[in-house]
Copies of this chain bind each other. A is one copy, B any other.
Amino acid sequence: MTDRIREFLRTRRPDGPCLVVDLDVVRDKFLSFAKAMPDTRVFYAVKANPAPEVLALLAELGSCFDTASVAEVRMALAAGATPDRISFGNTIKKERDIATAFELGVRLYAVDCEAEVEKIARVAPGARVFCRILSDGAGAEWPLSRKFGCEPAMAPRILEHAHRLGLEAYGVSFHVGSQQRNTGAWDAAVASAAGIFREMSDRGITLKMVNLGGGFPTRYLKNVPAVQAYAQAISDAILTHFGNQVPETIIEPGRGMVGSAGIIKAEVVLVSKKSDTDDVRWVYLDIGKFGGLAETMDEAIRYPIRTERDGDEMTPCVLAGPTCDSADVMYEKDPYFLPVSLEIGDEVLIEGTGAYTTTYSAVAFNGFEPLKSYVI
């Protein structure tokens, strides 16, 4: 909670659930990344929070942008970024979307297979491509599937294919998993990347960039290492595996940039018990899995929740959303401790919600409006 958000909620008293994002926190985060990793370019992951005010601030501060779609490319451009500061980082792109991004000036694209390389070669001649490799994601709190990336052994063939088709085989990317609390998680992936650089060099092709991805955490209930600790661990990994042939590096923070800048204000709609003998109460909020808290899926992300009664005795609660969907339950396997005095109508503040909330919210499930957002 920041003073500016507290003041906004006190004076504006917005009705219904809403997210409030404090730009001062975003600025601090950007500057701490820039300071801790001065030789690394920051590509903000637009999908984390594409609010125009957030993008405009970051563009002004000199950030680059990692985009997932043509719509996000346009948002980054509208915010003031030049096309050379935009990466089309989704490995899954329609050919016509690549063509549009290329027309808009974007020259940097992610790939993880030969078919994607061929699309880019057809409609974005001469563009730079980096190949995403798989990482096991151990230590990350948001699940990392095998959806993005190829086995490292395949990468040289894919990059050489790009080279032969007239593209610039530019580098390697990976993602160590979102909300990665282990600063050592980058080491193995950097080692893989260095191996691919060597293999490509043997083939006469010089790669230039390692895209270190995201994974930088937001502080939820558990402490997380500082940005400096990540910077040090990554720097050590680069030195270990690349020696004095240090590549160009970029990072793609999303959650780590905006997560802690946002707070969701919500309201207790109902408190009840399912039977007289239950120890666990059910607390229903006016926001749930379909209203912006999608990352509570499988109870993956556990947000800090504050109430005005936090000094009182705490008891275990199942926390659920307001929709008529049985799956709209946030914390049940591992109940959430909330004040026994919590009442219908009480305000609750859900912290660390600046990332992956507004855009995840459903258009109108059960007739509920999407999450409102205020950027201050």
Q: Which residues of A contact B (CB under 8 A)?
A: 45-47, 50, 67-72, 75, 89-95, 112-113, 115-116, 119, 134, 137, 142-151, 153-154, 177-178, 267, 269-276, 282, 284, 286, 290, 294, 297, 318, 320, 322-329, 332, 344-345, 358-370
Contacts and interface: CB of A to CB of B under 8 A. Distances in A.
Nearest to A146: B274
A151 B112 CA distance: 52
Contacts of A284: 92
Q: Is the interface of A mostly helix, strand, loop or mixed?
A: loop
A45 B365 CA distance: 12
A15 to B, nearest CB: 9
Copies of this chain assembled into the complex: 2
Contact of A147 (B71, B137, B144, B329): B329
27 contacts: A47-B323, A47-B367, A50-B364, A68-B323, A69-B322, A69-B366, A69-B368, A70-B367, A71-B367, A71-B369, A72-B366, A72-B367, A92-B270, A92-B322, A112-B272, A113-B272, A115-B272, A116-B270, A134-B274, A147-B326, A147-B328, A147-B329, A150-B273, A151-B276, A178-B326, A360-B365, A361-B363
A359 B362 contact: yes
Given A113-B270, A269-B92, A363 B362 contact: yes
